[in-house]
Structure 1
Amino acid sequence: MQVEILPFKSSYLKGALNVWNEVVLEGKAFPQTEVLNEKTGYDFFMAQSFSGVAVEKTTNEVVGVYILHPNNVGRCSHICNASYAVKLELRGNRIGKMLVTDCIEKARELSFRILQFNAVVASNKRALALYESLGFIRLGIPPGGFLNKDNVYEDIIPHYLIL
Protein backbone atom coordinates (compact mmCIF):
# COMPACT_ATOMS: atom_id res chain seq x y z
CA MET A 1 0.00 0.00 0.00
CA GLN A 2 1.36 3.40 -1.01
CA VAL A 3 -0.12 6.30 0.94
CA GLU A 4 0.45 10.03 0.61
CA ILE A 5 -0.81 12.87 2.80
CA LEU A 6 -2.57 15.62 0.86
CA PRO A 7 -4.49 18.77 1.76
CA PHE A 8 -8.21 18.20 2.19
CA LYS A 9 -10.38 19.23 -0.77
CA SER A 10 -14.02 18.67 -1.60
CA SER A 11 -13.32 15.62 -3.76
CA TYR A 12 -12.07 13.83 -0.63
CA LEU A 13 -15.11 14.75 1.47
CA LYS A 14 -17.01 11.43 1.33
CA GLY A 15 -13.90 9.40 2.13
CA ALA A 16 -12.85 11.75 4.93
CA LEU A 17 -16.36 11.62 6.40
CA ASN A 18 -16.37 7.81 6.32
CA VAL A 19 -13.07 7.61 8.22
CA TRP A 20 -13.91 10.41 10.69
CA ASN A 21 -17.42 9.17 11.43
CA GLU A 22 -16.17 5.62 11.95
CA VAL A 23 -14.11 6.88 14.92
CA VAL A 24 -17.01 8.99 16.24
CA LEU A 25 -19.35 5.99 16.11
CA GLU A 26 -16.81 3.76 17.86
CA GLY A 27 -17.07 6.12 20.83
CA LYS A 28 -13.59 5.29 22.13
CA ALA A 29 -11.37 8.19 21.07
CA PHE A 30 -13.09 11.38 19.88
CA PRO A 31 -15.13 13.61 22.19
CA GLN A 32 -17.74 14.18 19.45
CA THR A 33 -20.95 12.20 19.72
CA GLU A 34 -22.60 13.34 16.47
CA VAL A 35 -21.47 12.21 13.05
CA LEU A 36 -20.78 14.75 10.33
CA ASN A 37 -22.86 14.95 7.17
CA GLU A 38 -21.74 16.44 3.86
CA LYS A 39 -22.63 20.02 4.88
CA THR A 40 -21.35 19.94 8.46
CA GLY A 41 -18.34 17.86 7.43
CA TYR A 42 -17.24 20.19 4.66
CA ASP A 43 -17.61 23.20 6.95
CA PHE A 44 -15.74 21.37 9.74
CA PHE A 45 -12.74 20.35 7.61
CA MET A 46 -12.54 23.77 5.95
CA ALA A 47 -12.67 25.62 9.30
CA GLN A 48 -9.41 24.07 10.53
CA SER A 49 -5.99 25.68 10.18
CA PHE A 50 -5.22 22.60 8.09
CA SER A 51 -7.00 19.35 7.29
CA GLY A 52 -5.01 16.55 5.73
CA VAL A 53 -6.07 13.28 4.18
CA ALA A 54 -4.11 10.06 3.79
CA VAL A 55 -4.84 8.79 0.29
CA GLU A 56 -3.91 5.39 -1.12
CA LYS A 57 -2.13 6.28 -4.35
CA THR A 58 -3.37 3.50 -6.63
CA THR A 59 -7.06 3.66 -5.66
CA ASN A 60 -7.29 7.32 -4.55
CA GLU A 61 -9.16 6.02 -1.47
CA VAL A 62 -9.07 8.12 1.72
CA VAL A 63 -7.60 5.87 4.42
CA GLY A 64 -6.97 8.50 7.09
CA VAL A 65 -7.61 12.12 8.01
CA TYR A 66 -6.36 14.73 10.46
CA ILE A 67 -7.32 18.19 11.57
CA LEU A 68 -5.00 20.88 12.97
CA HIS A 69 -6.13 24.07 14.70
CA PRO A 70 -5.27 26.41 17.60
CA ASN A 71 -5.86 24.83 20.98
CA ASN A 72 -6.95 28.17 22.43
CA VAL A 73 -7.18 31.86 21.54
CA GLY A 74 -5.15 35.02 22.06
CA ARG A 75 -2.10 34.56 24.26
CA CYS A 76 -2.33 30.78 23.91
CA SER A 77 -2.98 30.63 20.16
CA HIS A 78 0.61 29.53 19.48
CA ILE A 79 -0.36 26.11 20.90
CA CYS A 80 -2.12 23.87 18.40
CA ASN A 81 -4.23 20.77 18.76
CA ALA A 82 -4.90 17.93 16.35
CA SER A 83 -7.05 14.85 15.90
CA TYR A 84 -6.30 11.81 13.76
CA ALA A 85 -8.48 9.06 12.30
CA VAL A 86 -7.43 5.95 10.39
CA LYS A 87 -9.81 3.61 8.61
CA LEU A 88 -10.62 0.79 11.01
CA GLU A 89 -9.48 -2.15 8.89
CA LEU A 90 -6.19 -0.43 8.02
CA ARG A 91 -5.03 0.43 11.54
CA GLY A 92 -1.59 -0.92 12.34
CA ASN A 93 -0.19 -0.06 8.88
CA ARG A 94 1.70 3.07 10.00
CA ILE A 95 -0.87 5.43 8.46
CA GLY A 96 -1.31 7.09 11.86
CA LYS A 97 2.42 7.78 12.07
CA MET A 98 2.30 9.36 8.62
CA LEU A 99 -0.60 11.58 9.69
CA VAL A 100 1.09 12.69 12.92
CA THR A 101 4.49 13.39 11.33
CA ASP A 102 2.86 15.35 8.52
CA CYS A 103 0.85 17.28 11.11
CA ILE A 104 4.00 18.16 13.06
CA GLU A 105 5.60 19.59 9.93
CA LYS A 106 2.42 21.48 8.97
CA ALA A 107 2.18 22.92 12.50
CA ARG A 108 5.74 24.21 12.19
CA GLU A 109 4.96 25.71 8.78
CA LEU A 110 1.98 27.51 10.32
CA SER A 111 4.26 28.92 13.08
CA PHE A 112 2.70 27.03 15.98
CA ARG A 113 5.17 26.49 18.81
CA ILE A 114 3.61 23.57 20.69
CA LEU A 115 1.38 20.68 19.62
CA GLN A 116 -0.88 19.59 22.48
CA PHE A 117 -3.31 16.70 22.75
CA ASN A 118 -5.92 17.36 25.43
CA ALA A 119 -7.51 13.94 25.76
CA VAL A 120 -5.66 10.83 24.63
CA VAL A 121 -7.79 8.01 26.00
CA ALA A 122 -5.77 5.65 28.22
CA SER A 123 -6.92 2.51 26.39
CA ASN A 124 -5.68 3.89 23.03
CA LYS A 125 -2.40 1.96 23.35
CA ARG A 126 -1.34 2.39 19.71
CA ALA A 127 -1.67 6.17 19.91
CA LEU A 128 0.15 6.31 23.24
CA ALA A 129 3.05 4.24 21.87
CA LEU A 130 3.20 6.36 18.71
CA TYR A 131 3.26 9.65 20.58
CA GLU A 132 5.96 8.38 22.92
CA SER A 133 8.07 7.21 19.97
CA LEU A 134 7.80 10.70 18.44
CA GLY A 135 8.95 12.45 21.62
CA PHE A 136 5.65 13.73 23.02
CA ILE A 137 5.62 14.37 26.76
CA ARG A 138 2.79 13.19 29.00
CA LEU A 139 1.21 15.86 31.18
CA GLY A 140 -0.49 13.68 33.78
CA ILE A 141 -3.64 11.59 34.00
CA PRO A 142 -7.00 13.26 34.61
CA PRO A 143 -9.05 10.37 36.02
CA GLY A 144 -12.31 9.60 34.27
CA GLY A 145 -11.82 12.39 31.77
CA PHE A 146 -13.45 10.55 28.86
CA LEU A 147 -16.91 9.03 28.70
CA ASN A 148 -16.86 5.99 26.42
CA LYS A 149 -19.84 5.09 24.26
CA ASP A 150 -20.73 2.36 26.78
CA ASN A 151 -21.05 5.05 29.52
CA VAL A 152 -17.87 3.97 31.31
CA TYR A 153 -15.51 6.76 32.32
CA GLU A 154 -11.88 6.30 31.36
CA ASP A 155 -8.69 8.18 32.15
CA ILE A 156 -7.15 10.56 29.62
CA ILE A 157 -3.48 11.37 29.15
CA PRO A 158 -2.77 14.84 27.72
CA HIS A 159 0.50 15.20 25.77
CA TYR A 160 2.57 17.94 24.22
CA LEU A 161 5.49 18.35 21.83
CA ILE A 162 7.58 21.49 21.48
CA LEU A 163 7.80 22.26 17.80
Structure 2
Amino acid sequence: MSCYVIKPKGSSQRLPYLPILMSLPSGRQVSLDHYREQDEQQVFSIFKKIVEDGQSYPQEKVESLQDFRDYYLSHDVFVARDATETEEVLGAFYVKPNFPGRSSHICNAGFIVKESERGQGLGKRMAQYFLYIARDLGYKASFFNLVYVNNEASLRTWRGLGFKEIGVVPNAGYIKGLGYTDAVQFYYDFSTLTGSVEQI
Protein backbone atom coordinates (compact mmCIF):
# COMPACT_ATOMS: atom_id res chain seq x y z
CA MET A 1 0.00 0.00 0.00
CA SER A 2 1.33 3.43 -0.92
CA CYS A 3 2.22 5.75 1.96
CA TYR A 4 1.32 8.75 -0.17
CA VAL A 5 -2.36 8.17 -0.86
CA ILE A 6 -4.88 10.94 -0.26
CA LYS A 7 -8.17 9.16 0.21
CA PRO A 8 -11.35 10.63 -1.26
CA LYS A 9 -13.86 11.97 1.21
CA GLY A 10 -17.15 10.17 1.71
CA SER A 11 -19.25 13.32 1.57
CA SER A 12 -18.53 17.01 1.31
CA GLN A 13 -19.05 19.33 4.24
CA ARG A 14 -21.87 21.80 3.65
CA LEU A 15 -21.06 25.44 4.33
CA PRO A 16 -24.16 27.27 5.57
CA TYR A 17 -23.38 30.58 3.88
CA LEU A 18 -23.43 29.07 0.38
CA PRO A 19 -24.77 29.92 -2.14
CA ILE A 20 -23.42 33.45 -2.00
CA LEU A 21 -23.50 36.19 -4.63
CA MET A 22 -20.22 37.56 -5.97
CA SER A 23 -20.04 40.81 -7.91
CA LEU A 24 -17.52 41.03 -10.73
CA PRO A 25 -15.91 44.37 -11.67
CA SER A 26 -18.35 44.66 -14.58
CA GLY A 27 -21.26 44.44 -12.14
CA ARG A 28 -22.19 40.96 -13.27
CA GLN A 29 -23.64 38.79 -10.52
CA VAL A 30 -22.26 35.28 -10.09
CA SER A 31 -23.46 32.68 -7.60
CA LEU A 32 -20.80 30.67 -5.77
CA ASP A 33 -22.14 27.38 -4.46
CA HIS A 34 -21.37 23.76 -3.75
CA TYR A 35 -20.86 21.52 -6.77
CA ARG A 36 -23.93 19.62 -7.95
CA GLU A 37 -24.07 16.45 -10.04
CA GLN A 38 -25.74 18.32 -12.88
CA ASP A 39 -22.65 20.56 -13.12
CA GLU A 40 -20.42 17.65 -14.08
CA GLN A 41 -20.39 17.94 -17.87
CA GLN A 42 -19.85 21.70 -17.86
CA VAL A 43 -17.04 21.56 -15.30
CA PHE A 44 -15.45 18.64 -17.15
CA SER A 45 -15.54 20.56 -20.45
CA ILE A 46 -13.87 23.61 -18.90
CA PHE A 47 -11.16 21.51 -17.26
CA LYS A 48 -10.53 19.42 -20.38
CA LYS A 49 -10.04 22.54 -22.52
CA ILE A 50 -7.59 24.03 -19.99
CA VAL A 51 -5.56 20.82 -19.86
CA GLU A 52 -5.50 20.67 -23.67
CA ASP A 53 -4.27 24.28 -23.79
CA GLY A 54 -1.22 23.10 -21.84
CA GLN A 55 -0.48 26.33 -20.01
CA SER A 56 -1.40 25.86 -16.34
CA TYR A 57 -2.08 22.25 -15.25
CA PRO A 58 0.60 19.53 -15.27
CA GLN A 59 -1.65 16.92 -16.91
CA GLU A 60 -0.96 16.41 -20.60
CA LYS A 61 -4.48 15.18 -21.32
CA VAL A 62 -7.68 13.98 -19.69
CA GLU A 63 -8.42 10.53 -21.06
CA SER A 64 -11.95 10.13 -19.77
CA LEU A 65 -14.73 11.50 -17.62
CA GLN A 66 -13.67 9.04 -14.92
CA ASP A 67 -10.13 10.46 -14.93
CA PHE A 68 -11.65 13.89 -14.36
CA ARG A 69 -13.83 12.61 -11.53
CA ASP A 70 -10.92 10.89 -9.82
CA TYR A 71 -8.77 14.02 -9.93
CA TYR A 72 -11.10 16.99 -9.74
CA LEU A 73 -14.12 15.69 -7.83
CA SER A 74 -12.38 13.63 -5.14
CA HIS A 75 -12.98 16.13 -2.34
CA ASP A 76 -14.76 19.49 -2.02
CA VAL A 77 -15.67 21.36 -5.21
CA PHE A 78 -17.27 24.78 -5.57
CA VAL A 79 -18.85 26.20 -8.69
CA ALA A 80 -19.40 29.75 -9.94
CA ARG A 81 -22.64 29.99 -11.91
CA ASP A 82 -24.24 32.82 -13.80
CA ALA A 83 -26.77 34.28 -11.37
CA THR A 84 -29.61 34.08 -13.86
CA GLU A 85 -32.00 31.28 -14.57
CA THR A 86 -29.52 29.77 -17.04
CA GLU A 87 -27.12 28.93 -14.16
CA GLU A 88 -24.34 28.50 -16.71
CA VAL A 89 -21.13 27.25 -15.08
CA LEU A 90 -18.48 29.96 -15.49
CA GLY A 91 -15.74 28.55 -13.28
CA ALA A 92 -14.95 26.22 -10.41
CA PHE A 93 -12.33 25.21 -7.88
CA TYR A 94 -11.59 22.16 -5.77
CA VAL A 95 -10.16 22.13 -2.24
CA LYS A 96 -8.38 19.03 -1.00
CA PRO A 97 -5.41 18.01 1.14
CA ASN A 98 -2.09 18.67 -0.50
CA PHE A 99 -0.48 15.87 1.50
CA PRO A 100 -1.80 12.77 3.31
CA GLY A 101 -2.01 11.94 6.99
CA ARG A 102 -0.04 14.16 9.37
CA SER A 103 0.16 16.95 6.80
CA SER A 104 -3.42 16.80 5.53
CA HIS A 105 -4.25 20.07 7.32
CA ILE A 106 -2.49 21.86 4.44
CA CYS A 107 -4.75 22.14 1.42
CA ASN A 108 -4.33 22.60 -2.28
CA ALA A 109 -6.81 24.07 -4.75
CA GLY A 110 -7.31 23.96 -8.50
CA PHE A 111 -9.07 26.82 -10.25
CA ILE A 112 -10.65 26.80 -13.69
CA VAL A 113 -12.45 29.55 -15.60
CA LYS A 114 -14.37 29.08 -18.82
CA GLU A 115 -12.41 30.49 -21.77
CA SER A 116 -15.09 33.03 -22.69
CA GLU A 117 -15.12 34.39 -19.12
CA ARG A 118 -11.40 34.98 -18.63
CA GLY A 119 -10.15 38.49 -17.95
CA GLN A 120 -13.37 39.48 -16.18
CA GLY A 121 -12.12 39.10 -12.60
CA LEU A 122 -13.86 35.80 -11.88
CA GLY A 123 -10.68 33.91 -11.01
CA LYS A 124 -9.63 36.57 -8.53
CA ARG A 125 -13.06 36.62 -6.89
CA MET A 126 -13.10 32.84 -6.50
CA ALA A 127 -9.59 33.03 -5.02
CA GLN A 128 -10.74 35.56 -2.42
CA TYR A 129 -13.61 33.31 -1.35
CA PHE A 130 -11.38 30.24 -1.43
CA LEU A 131 -9.35 31.53 1.53
CA TYR A 132 -12.41 31.61 3.80
CA ILE A 133 -13.95 28.44 2.41
CA ALA A 134 -10.76 26.44 2.92
CA ARG A 135 -10.35 27.81 6.45
CA ASP A 136 -13.97 27.00 7.25
CA LEU A 137 -13.49 23.46 5.96
CA GLY A 138 -10.90 23.05 8.71
CA TYR A 139 -7.63 23.50 6.85
CA LYS A 140 -4.81 25.41 8.56
CA ALA A 141 -2.92 26.54 5.48
CA SER A 142 -2.76 26.40 1.71
CA PHE A 143 0.19 25.37 -0.44
CA PHE A 144 0.36 25.61 -4.22
CA ASN A 145 3.06 23.32 -5.61
CA LEU A 146 3.29 24.48 -9.21
CA VAL A 147 2.26 27.92 -10.41
CA TYR A 148 4.05 28.14 -13.74
CA VAL A 149 5.73 31.48 -14.31
CA ASN A 150 3.95 31.91 -17.64
CA ASN A 151 0.62 32.01 -15.73
CA GLU A 152 0.83 35.71 -14.99
CA ALA A 153 -2.80 36.09 -13.91
CA SER A 154 -2.38 33.41 -11.27
CA LEU A 155 0.91 34.90 -10.02
CA ARG A 156 -0.75 38.31 -9.65
CA THR A 157 -3.67 36.80 -7.79
CA TRP A 158 -1.68 34.92 -5.15
CA ARG A 159 0.78 37.77 -4.64
CA GLY A 160 -2.09 40.21 -4.34
CA LEU A 161 -3.80 38.08 -1.69
CA GLY A 162 -0.68 37.95 0.45
CA PHE A 163 0.59 34.44 -0.25
CA LYS A 164 4.26 33.88 0.59
CA GLU A 165 6.56 32.75 -2.19
CA ILE A 166 8.48 29.91 -0.58
CA GLY A 167 10.32 28.44 -3.52
CA VAL A 168 10.89 28.07 -7.22
CA VAL A 169 11.03 24.71 -8.99
CA PRO A 170 13.33 25.05 -12.01
CA ASN A 171 12.04 23.60 -15.29
CA ALA A 172 8.97 22.30 -13.48
CA GLY A 173 6.73 21.85 -16.50
CA TYR A 174 6.92 21.48 -20.24
CA ILE A 175 4.55 24.22 -21.40
CA LYS A 176 3.10 24.24 -24.90
CA GLY A 177 4.89 26.78 -27.03
CA LEU A 178 7.41 27.65 -24.31
CA GLY A 179 9.26 24.47 -23.41
CA TYR A 180 10.53 23.83 -19.89
CA THR A 181 9.29 26.49 -17.51
CA ASP A 182 9.90 27.30 -13.84
CA ALA A 183 7.11 27.20 -11.26
CA VAL A 184 6.61 29.26 -8.11
CA GLN A 185 5.42 27.66 -4.85
CA PHE A 186 3.02 29.68 -2.70
CA TYR A 187 1.97 29.30 0.96
CA TYR A 188 -0.79 30.96 2.99
CA ASP A 189 -1.31 30.59 6.75
CA PHE A 190 -5.05 30.73 7.48
CA SER A 191 -4.42 31.81 11.08
CA THR A 192 -3.60 35.24 9.66
CA LEU A 193 -7.01 35.50 7.97
CA THR A 194 -9.49 37.76 9.77
CA GLY A 195 -13.21 38.31 9.37
CA SER A 196 -15.71 36.13 7.56
CA VAL A 197 -16.71 35.28 4.03
CA GLU A 198 -19.73 37.60 4.25
CA GLN A 199 -17.37 40.60 4.68
CA ILE A 200 -15.62 40.17 1.32
Describe the superposition over 1:70-122 as per-residue Cα deviations: whole angstroms up to 9, x where unpaired: 01012211110011011112111111012212221121111111111000010
Partner of 1:125: 152
Match of 1:55 among 77, 81, 106: 81
Unaligned residue ranges in structure 1 (runs of 5+): none
2-side partners of 1:44 and 1:145: how far apart?
20
Matched positions, count: 162
Relative contact order, CA 8 A, sep 6+: which one is greater? 1
| Structure 1 residue 5, shift from structure 2 partner | 1.2
2-side partners of 1:98 and 1:37: how far apart?
29
2-side partners of 1:9 and 1:45: how far apart?
13
Partner of 2:7: none
2-side partners of 1:39 and 1:130: how far apart?
30
2-side partners of 1:158 and 1:30: how far apart?
14
Going from structure 1 to structure 2, the CA distance change for 1:151 and 1:123 (only over 3 Å counts) comes to closer
2-side partners of 1:36 and 1:92: how far apart?
28
Q: 2:141·2:189 contact (CA, 8 Å) conserved in 1?
A: yes
Structure 1 residue 80 and structure 2 residue 101: aligned? no
Match of 2:50 among 10, 13, 23: 23
Q: 2:81·2:87 contact (CA, 8 Å) conserved in 1?
A: yes
Of structures 1 and 2, the larger Rg is shown by: 2
Bigger strand fraction = 2
| Structure 1 residue 60, shift from structure 2 partner | 0.8
Bigger helix fraction = 1
Q: 1:52·1:66 contact (CA, 8 Å) conserved in 2?
A: yes
Unaligned residue ranges in structure 2 (runs of 5+): 1-27, 191-200
- State the TM-score, normalized to the length of structure 2: 0.76
1-side partners of 2:166 and 2:35: how far apart?
31
1-side partners of 2:102 and 2:136: how far apart?
19
Q: CA RMSD in A?
A: 1.6
Alignment of 1:78-157 (within 5 A): 78-150=105-177, 152-157=179-184
Q: Percent identity?
A: 30
2-side partners of 1:117 and 1:39: how far apart?
24
Query: Aligned with 2:91: secondary structure?
Result: strand
Query: Aligned with 2:127: secondary structure?
Result: helix
